[in-house]
Amino acid sequence: MTTRNTSRRNFLLGGAAAASVPLLNACGVGGSTADNSGAAANDVTGGFDWKKASGTKIKILQTPHPYQQSFQPLLSEFTELTGIEVQADLVAEADYFTKLNTELAGGTGAHDVFMTGAYFIWQYGPPGWMEDLDPWLKNTSATSPDYDFEDIYEGLRTSTRWDFKPGSPLGTGGQWAIPWGFETNVIAYNKRLFASRGVKPAETFDDLIQLATDLTDRSKNQYGIAFRGSKSWATIHPGFMTQYSRMGCKDYTSEGGKLVAAMNSPEAVDFTAKWVQLAKAAGPTSWTTYEYPDCTRDLGNGNAAMVYDADSATYPKNKPGASKEAGNLAWHPGPAGPDGSYATNLWTWSLAMNAASKQKLAAWLFIQWATGKDAMSKATKAAFADPTRKSVFDGAFKQTLGAFPGYLETFEKVIDSTKIQFSPQTKFFETTEDWAVALQDIYAGQNAKSRLDALADSNTRKLAS
Amino acid sequence: MAREMMPGRRRFTAGSVGADLLILLWFVFSLFPIVWMVLLALKTRSQQTSTYFAFSPTLENFGTVMSRRGEDLTSVNFSGALLSSVLNCGGAVLVSLLIGIPAAYAAGRWKYRGSEDLMFQMLSFRFAPELMVVVPLFVIYNQTGLFDTTYGMIWVLQLVTMPLVVWILRSYFQDLSPELEQAALLDGYTRRRAFVMVALPLVRPGIAAAALLAFIFAWNNYVFPLILTDSEATTVTVAVTKFLGGGGQAYYNLTAAAALIGALPPLVLALTIQRYLVRGLSFGAVKA
């Protein structure tokens, strides 16, 4: 889940990097030594051996997260298996991409491996900051015969693969990261409250609006549904984009290799107006500031009856002692579209290799180990929610789901339709934040049609420039 | 004839009581975030998002933050970061004082062509957005081996501490009568000895004030340690944010406890040298 704001700070950094790195290069100081041509992968020959890079040391950059915490105790096992020492550095989630952006722009290869989200590939991939992992996957000298890349859910594999051509869909081009953990965006609800009111989760979007409104009682500080509303691209990607896609709406259409914004199509305008109406009638009173921790907090405290966000964001609130409503939470896929669609947007924390890394074989062995079956199974038994491998989900993860009513059924309902529902494009963060601003403007009273027309016009022009 | 008020006595009127109440309200309002942080630091994890004042307080969070248990739970070595902050900031202030005091003395005593430009140049380090200079610094630090080291942090923090020390102390030296040093020179002192034996003792309160302010600014700095350190030389400001966690697993109670512990060193330092500080900050406040 993401509060990951690539905001003013990152824009400043981008500008600073663009201006300063070439200047430093000209002065003979620093600069990128990145080579993502796949040559390093092709240099690895002979039979596969985990000890091939024994005696080296790698640094990995991570953000505090249940995924990272589940793997932390296992790092010594990796060192024992490979003889590679690992230094794991942590940066708080709010500033993680600020730090990562600086590092990659600097081209120093300070960290060999880093956590990243799929959307960030669209920003970090085109400048050549990321290593294409496809040659590594294909090289049997570098990749264990037991690795089984196809075991990772298809929607995740394709979400981290792109050729960087505008209008080109995901799933073609280089493999820029390996999905590690992920989340689907569904509804978590308070089953104690639902039982006391004698209601069931809604199966259509109109029913969801009615249900959430019925469950709202402002005098008791209780409201129907929480979803994000802050001025951030991350407001669009969870519940909004999931339901938007289920209602048959598109963000862009491709016309002659150019992307044309479609968030002002009649069905998109209709859906957006209803979504904002839902926020007004049954959302938190300070919706325009809401990020996922606010949503899950309200669910855990019993203030929100439902949350439409990442399944793994709500999952920790049901653990004993973790919240007031722990043990009372349940999950539901959320409303299907008019045609029965369960199209669901995803977020995946993936592992990627710095193209400027000086220890690429060791880095690849780490990525391979961390996304492999054995380590992921062990981590899943700790706190790793939504492993990216089908075999691990069917094995270790199902054993941990006993106290989580509906979680498994929900997952199985949506997984085949779960993928990145956005059109990939290099100005994703800027244009999607504009989209969130448009939602806020409509919430403040502007006409949905005219505001979305202006947004679509602006975004189409931005992508053409 | 209006009766004169005795010094120290005041007349209670509805207006003065109302004003006092307003000030009291403002005081409570201003301090509330601190109070809330203290309360949060005393809550358990299951209580951390409740908005009620009634809860079972515990001091466990402070122990967790400082111990190996906290590191195992959150992967954050907070006690190490605390020590790094002390070394980084203490070292940075020391270097700034060693270089900045003679610089401030020279700037306060002598005018020469471009001296004001030079002082403004130094002040401009404080104006420059840190994010604009940190990318080239990151590259240079990686090339020179200064990345993630105490030496590197002491060096970069000069951008924060040096302008403060020089500018604050320059005004102290300017306010100091030059006749005192001239008298010492007449008595046979060298210029250096006059500086050390006469001028320096007289600006001690100013040095204390400048050092404290520089220490606080260095302690609070976030961007430089965020970008220029990893695990070895990271500081309290960066470490505190890591307790916020991610992926729906936040430790707000530990974050509050860590923030309170992190606020202690500058607070203790300020209280210790409060005597100098008050005198130092008021010194030179009124100029002829």
* DSSP line for A54-86: TT-EEEEEE-S-HHHHHHGGGHHHHHHHH--EE
pLDDT reported for residue A62: 93
Q: Beta strands of A342-424 (E only): which ranges?
A: 346-353
What average pLDDT does this structure show over B271-278?
76
- Domain ranges for chain B, please list them: 14-59, 72-282
Tell me if A98 and B226 make a contact (CB, 8 A cut-off).
yes
Token pair of B207 as six digits: 């040095």
Q: Mean pLDDT over all residues of chain A?
A: 89
Rg (CA), chain A: 22
**Phi, then psi, of A143 in degrees rounded to 5:** -120, 130
pLDDT reported for residue B280: 59
**Phi, then psi, of A231 in degrees rounded to 5:** -80, 75
pLDDT reported for residue B10: 66
Q: What CATH number labels A184-345+422-464? A: 3.40.190.10
| Helices H / strands E in chain A, number of each | 21, 12
- The pLDDT > 70 percentage for chain B reads 91
Taking the Cβ of residue A18 and every Cβ of chain B, the question of whether any pair is shorter than 8 Å is answered with no
- Domain ranges for chain A, please list them: 8-14+38-183+347-408, 184-345+422-464
Asked whether the predicted pLDDT for residue A16 surpasses 80, the reply is: no
- Lowest model confidence (mean pLDDT) among A20-24, A126-130, B223-227: A20-24
pLDDT reported for residue B279: 62
**CA dist., res. B179 & res. A252, Å (int):** 77
**Phi, then psi, of A343 in degrees rounded to 5:** -50, 130
For B37-64, the pLDDT digits (tens) are 999 999 887 778 777 777 788 899 999 9
**CA dist., res. A162 & res. A419, Å (int):** 13
Q: Mean pLDDT over all residues of chain B?
A: 86
How much is the pTM?
A: 0.82
What residue type is B197 in one-letter code? Answer: M
Instruction: Pick B147's closest partner by Cβ from A29, A93, A110.
Output: A110
Phi-psi region of A284 (alpha: psi -120 to 50; beta: other; left: phi over 0): beta
Closest CA to A308 of A4, A1, A5: A1
Residues on chain A touching B238 (C-beta within 8 angstroms): 91-92
Same fold, A8-14+38-183+347-408 and A184-345+422-464: yes
Taking CA atoms, A290 is separated from A19, A200, A316, in Å, by 35, 25, 19
3-class secondary structure per residue, chain B: CCCCCCCCCCCCCHHHHHHHHHHHHHHHHHHHHHHHHHHHHCCCCCCCCCCCCCCCCCCHHHHHHHCHHHHHHHCCCHHHHHHHHHHHHHHHHHHHHHHHHHHHHHHHHCCCCCHHHHHHHHHHHHHCCHHHHHHHHHHHHHHHCCCCCHHHHHHHCHHHHHHHHHHHHHHHHHHCCHHHHHHHHHCCCCHHHHHHHHHHHHCHHHHHHHHHHHHHHHHHCCHHHHHHCCCCCCCHHHHHHHCCCECCECCHHHHHHHHHHHHHHHHHHHHHCHHHHHHHHHCCCCCC
CB B150 within 8 A of CB B217: no
Taking the Cβ of residue A293 and every Cβ of chain B, the question of whether any pair is shorter than 8 Å is answered with yes
Closest CA to B229 of B217, B238, B240, B220: B238
- Lowest model confidence (mean pLDDT) among A75-89, A127-141, A157-171, A337-351: A157-171
Classify domain A8-14+38-183+347-408 at the CATH class level: alpha beta
List all residues of chain A from 365 to 394 with a beta carbon under 8 Å from chain B.
Answer: 383
- The pLDDT > 90 percentage for chain B reads 46
- For the domain with range B72-282, which CATH number is right: 3.30.450.40, 3.40.50.880, 3.50.30.10, 1.10.3720.10? 1.10.3720.10
Instruction: Pick A106's closest partner by Cβ from B132, B135, B243.
Output: B135
**CA dist., res. A90 & res. B223, Å (int):** 15
Residues on chain A touching B253 (C-beta within 8 angstroms): none
Tell me whether 0.85 is exceeded by the ipTM: no
Residues on chain A touching B242 (C-beta within 8 angstroms): 64, 90-92
For B189-246, the pLDDT digits (tens) are 998 899 999 999 999 889 998 999 999 999 999 999 999 998 889 999 999 988 887 6
Closest CA to B246 of A228, A68, A387: A68
Tell me if A65 and B227 make a contact (CB, 8 A cut-off).
no
Token pair of B52 as six digits: 């009620």
Closest CA to A393 of A384, A382, A406, A403: A384
Taking the Cβ of residue A222 and every Cβ of chain B, the question of whether any pair is shorter than 8 Å is answered with no
Phi-psi region of A419 (alpha: psi -120 to 50; beta: other; left: phi over 0): beta
